[in-house]
Amino acid sequence: LFEDLGSDPLAVTALWTYFTFTEYWTVFYTHHPHEMKVFWYKISGPYAVWFWTMIACNTVIPLFLLSLKKNMAGIVTASVFIVIGMWLERLNIVVPTLANPGLPYPTGSYIISVTGVSLFIGSFAVFCLGYLVYARFFPLIAAWEVQEGREEGPENVKRQVESYLPDPVKT
């Protein structure tokens, strides 16, 4: 099961790597002045840490973890890094572009604000709310399984405990 489960993110990671490389190669090849300014801000400028962390989270770490023998811990770890990398990709799309506008506005920089952090935390809260609402209307555990466990569970536990206990000594 985990072999198949780990193959999908591995394939998507390889595709994402190819598409990202192609995107930045095209920008570098065309040498458009506004795009090159944003490109260098991402590659070696003030946003380089975010950019290279995104590359590591979306490419290097998942390719390493998912190419090894697949187990649940490796797949979950790779998935967490991919989610972090995807958030950083969104940040890399928006922030350096706004810091170096193609329109005649002054060059600026991004400062983390309470509003931005609130929106970030709120997006996780909306996801959790959606998951809980879904779990409320479409139960994750079937009701008949719960009922069966309540009826047969105590007897099975008692039988298993008695099988481990030593036989009473007869005197």
- 170 belongs to a structural domain: no
- Please indicate, yes or no, whether residues 95 and 24 belong to a single structural domain of this protein: yes
What pLDDT score was predicted for residue 86? 93
- Please indicate, yes or no, whether residues 70 and 125 belong to a single structural domain of this protein: no
- Please indicate, yes or no, whether residues 63 and 96 belong to a single structural domain of this protein: yes
Q: Flag residues of the chain having pLDDT under 70.
A: 1-3, 103, 105, 168-171
Number of domains comprising the chain: 2
Q: Looking at 102, 119, 153, which one is the last position of a domain?
A: 102
Structural domain of 139: 111-165
Model confidence, pTM: 0.64
Q: How far apart are CA 167 and CA 171, in angstroms?
A: 12
What pLDDT score was predicted for residue 170? 60
- 75 belongs to a structural domain: yes
Let me know: does 72 contact 45? Beta carbons within 8 Å. Answer: no
What are the tens digits of pLDDT across the range 46-62?
899 999 999 999 999 99
What pLDDT score was predicted for residue 168? 66
Give the list of residues 6+ apart from residue 98 with CB closer than 8 angstroms, or none.
Answer: 108, 110
What pLDDT score was predicted for residue 2? 60
- Please indicate, yes or no, whether residues 96 and 117 belong to a single structural domain of this protein: no
What pLDDT score was predicted for residue 161? 75
Give the list of residues 6+ apart from residue 9 with CB closer than 8 angstroms, or none.
Answer: 62, 66, 75, 78, 79, 82
- Please indicate, yes or no, whether residues 92 and 120 belong to a single structural domain of this protein: no
What pLDDT score was predicted for residue 49? 94
